[in-house]
Every structure is written in C-alpha cells, then in structure tokens.
Amino acid sequence: AQSVTQLGSHVSVSEGALVLLRCNYSSSVPPYLFWYVQYPNQGLQLLLKYTSAATLVKGINGFEAEFKKSETSFHLTKPSAHMSDAAEYFCAVRGSGGYNKLIFGAGTRLAVHP
C-alpha cells in the first residue's frame, strides 16, 4: 500500500525567498512520485515526476524535487518565489507494477507575500 504525508498545510514565504514544500511517502514497492499544483477553481496540473531515471527532477516554473530513498522523501523546492506561485500543491505516489492507485497527500497551501 502507498501513502503520502505532506508536512505543513500552510506555508508562507516572501517574494524572492526559497520555497520548500515537504513530502514523505510510504510504499511497499519502488514508487513513482509526482507533484501537482492547483490554482483556484482549476484541476490539477503536473509540476514534475520521479520515475527512477534521476533522483533530482526538474519541473516547470523553476521547481525541482529530489528523491531520497533513505529518508522516503520527495521535497519540492524553488530558489526564488514569485507571486504567481501562490497555489495549492499536492504530492502523490503510485507503486510500480500493475495498475496501482495514484494516492494524493492532503496538500500544502503556499502564500507568497510582497
């Protein structure tokens, strides 16, 4: 079975500051990991994904995430926050093999202040 824990339901940063959103996963098999962003009244949009090719994954809008198996983590970072980054961010996990479910975390709401 797979599960995801996102630490911090709300994160607030200043414009230009580092963004760090935390995600820890649990999986009985090697996982595939995803970060999605959701703007108000919109569906979810993929930011990036880990599929075992490389542990440091770069995504859209300057975001990146590092897969750390020893820590069972997949934290999302961005060096410099922009006002347009304010949104809800979701981490998701799927186990490898078969038709395993895509399971989401509870989400982290990112606020960016001028």
Partner 1 sequence: EAGVAQSPRYKIIEKRQSVAFWCNPISGHATLYWYQQILGQGPKLLIQFQNNGVVDDSQLPKDRFSAERLKGVDSTLKIQPAKLEDSAVYLCASSPPGGETEAFFGQGTRLTVV
> Minimum Å distance from CB 47 to partner 1?
10
Full DSSP string of 45-99? EEEEEE-SS-SEEE-GGG-EEEEETTTTEEEEEESS--GGG-EEEEEEEEESSTT
Contact set for partner 1, span 62-81 (CB under 8 A):
none
> Minimum Å distance from CB 113 to partner 1?
21
9 half-sphere exposure, CB direction, 13 A CA radius? 1
Number of residues that bind partner 1 (CB under 8 A): 28
Per CB under 8 A, 3 contacts partner 1: no
Task: Give every CB contact of residue 40 below 8 A, 6+ residues apart in sequence.
Answer: none
> Minimum Å distance from CB 16 to partner 1?
28
Q: Which of 51, 72, 77, 86 binds partner 1 (CB under 8 A)?
A: 51
Per CB under 8 A, 45 contacts partner 1: yes
Tell which residue, 43, 51, 44, 83, has the closest CA to residue 67.
Answer: 51
> Residue numbers of the site for partner 1 (CB under 8 A)?
6, 32, 34, 36, 41-46, 49, 51-52, 90, 94-107
